[in-house]
Structure 1
């Protein structure tokens, strides 16, 4: 778990064009920064946020993504300093719950990448969202917003393969059951995280028990993280790793590793970056401003700079959202989990 604080005092460069991502954002060259949709309403929020001068984020995304967002926001708003606390899902939830139960909430914005149901299950700790709180939500895709959260980005499940040992990359999930991968496939343990368990559950629903038993019959090597799977494929000890994520591949590819990703497989699950505003936030206006700013092109330049994330809206330079995207299944019943593990021969 890491906590860092950043502060900037450099003057904002004037004259940059702002690209609108939602109706009402404008999108024309301006001498003023673009906080996003909202007109006079967001201007009032902006003034109050600058008066607060502080913002604290609690998030579980990769540290590089959080840092990029914090630094870009402070580039756009040098009057507001940003602190953040980053931890994996369960640790993040436990930290926030402890603070909320004691009445000492530190976070202004809460951004989980797994189990966004934590927010709805503890609704008293969060703000019900709408255009009054985040003006851009008036035009945000309905499938990517709920009563207490909205989603800005997706890291989609991919298959990672070695380009030197695999002659033809799989064109479907069922293709990975090919005998060429016998003893050459790396699978991530479904019990290592809810995201991976969700993927196996979705595969079982789509292709039946035979898909899971087919994976088991390939005599896979099991690992606890996609990062380890990607490294084994990059080293050439195995041909393919799944389920995996782009964040485990892009750095290796940049270093010249002989690996590629198979994307847009049907179905494609994705880990979503959700955004919630905390009740009794120390800086409620800064929270609203940041949430609205997350819908702008400026924010997406930071979120998607490393080539890992897809945006939940069109008109960005992020990776395109998979045509077969499906939401994760966060609440897989215990009996179902045991069944999945047994079918996989674990």
Structure 2
């Protein structure tokens, strides 16, 4: 059985930039002091004339709202976050862009071939041509793709989800998925739902062998089309273990006292969220200013902290393996081994 649609999550953590001593050099109604950076000051003033920013994103709704609120506090620009799952976001964005009626100003979407296509069709503005202050000079060069035109801003580690009413202690190995005691008690997203999910299962093959994946198939998992419905199934007691886990989703359910937790019991990888600026956006300066914010060490670390993800600036990278492309042949083998065909 395959179910689900993504919903959302998150928590807030405030990051505040200092005001100048007398406050006279702060720009507009925001609190960020940019008086020592004329280029940035000019961009802030242009963005404030536009006044708003429409942000499409795949991070959980509460995470988008926390980032939006921080950006508004700093620069006095109202943000309308629109949260969608990756497939829905790319489809909506593509439909609007191909019709010449883009509604977003910036997007935060899982990196995939979509970005190369969108750049090729002039749906996105190449970041190297956008004249975003401090980019690309101050951004970690290992985390830019598409010839520098697409920066990766968040690396989301895959975790294991478990029902705390059924499991008293956090599992210590991914191999728990194949234990016979969990037959009929697994909620798993189809491996083909994302490149990062496929990359995870390839890591599992390399780490534990094909028999591990066969053991999961023997436990007859319930298959879902994303992390959210699987995690919800674990929280509701319909399953004991779930995959993949996303910490923000789990945190949101725990706020409602759901008996669910997440753990990372071994090597992991996960989706890499990339930033895009919409070509022909209604608020291009606000989009460029948002890019400056989310690509700065302060703004990027804020996103990592509230989402418990990894940052290109180093936070949380020690246990994260960058996802590697999985061939069509490997994908077919993984699906067959897991019984997900």
- TM-score, structure 2 length as denominator? 0.77
Matches within 5 A, 1:31-42: 31=23, 32=26, 33-34=31-32, 39-42=37-40
Task: Decide whether the 8 Å contact of 2:111 with 2:272 is kept in 1.
Answer: no
Matched, 1:157 2:158: yes
Deviation at 1:96, TM superposition (A): 2.4
Matches within 5 A, 1:228-239: 228-239=229-240
Output the CA distance in 2 between the equivalents of 1:99 and 1:128: 18
Output the CA distance in 1 between the equivalents of 2:317 and 2:131: 31
Matched, 1:341 2:335: yes
Q: For residue 141 of structure 1, what is the aligned residue in structure 2?
A: 140
Note closer, same or farther for the CA distance 1:343–1:214 as it changes in structure 2 (3 Å cut): same
Output the CA distance in 2 between the equivalents of 1:18 and 1:309: 22
Note closer, same or farther for the CA distance 1:142–1:226 as it changes in structure 2 (3 Å cut): same
Output the CA distance in 2 between the equivalents of 1:37 and 1:82: 23
After superposition, the C-alpha distances for 1:64-98 in whole angstroms (9 at most, x for unaligned) are: 222333333223233x3434444322332233223
Report which stretch shifted further, 242-251 or 229-238: 229-238
Structure 2 residue matching 1:274: 3-state secondary structure: strand
Q: For residue 294 of structure 1, what is the aligned residue in structure 2?
A: 294
Give the unaligned 5+ runs of structure 1.
2-15, 20-26, 315-319
Task: Decide whether the 8 Å contact of 2:17 with 2:74 is kept in 1.
Answer: no
Deviation at 1:321, TM superposition (A): 1.6
Structure 2 residue matching 1:159: 3-state secondary structure: strand
Deviation at 1:123, TM superposition (A): 1.9
Matches within 5 A, 1:85-234: 85-112=82-109, 114-124=110-120, 125=122, 126-130=124-128, 132-135=131-134, 137-146=136-145, 147-234=148-235
Q: For residue 328 of structure 1, what is the aligned residue in structure 2?
A: 323
Deviation at 1:180, TM superposition (A): 3.8
Output the CA distance in 1 between the equivalents of 2:278 and 2:233: 41
Output the CA distance in 1 between the equivalents of 2:112 and 2:192: 19
Structure 1 residue matching 2:88: 3-state secondary structure: helix
Output the CA distance in 1 between the equivalents of 2:198 and 2:210: 14
Q: For residue 12 of structure 2, what is the aligned residue in structure 1?
A: none
Output the CA distance in 1 between the equivalents of 2:250 and 2:334: 26
Deviation at 1:292, TM superposition (A): 0.8
Deviation at 1:159, TM superposition (A): 0.5
Matches within 5 A, 1:31-70: 31=23, 32=26, 33-34=31-32, 39-70=37-68
Output the CA distance in 1 between the equivalents of 2:232 and 2:91: 31
Report which stretch shifted further, 159-168 or 291-300: 291-300
After superposition, the C-alpha distances for 1:25-71 in whole angstroms (9 at most, x for unaligned) are: xx997843337898232122212222333323232332222233333
Structure 2 residue matching 1:170: 3-state secondary structure: coil
Output the CA distance in 2 between the equivalents of 1:152 and 1:191: 23
- TM-score, structure 1 length as denominator? 0.76
Output the CA distance in 1 between the equivalents of 2:234 and 2:220: 16
Structure 1 residue matching 2:215: 3-state secondary structure: helix
Output the CA distance in 1 between the equivalents of 2:254 and 2:306: 12
After superposition, the C-alpha distances for 1:258-302 in whole angstroms (9 at most, x for unaligned) are: 332212x44222223211223333332221111111245774687
Output the CA distance in 2 between the equivalents of 1:219 and 1:273: 31
Output the CA distance in 2 between the equivalents of 1:73 and 1:297: 14
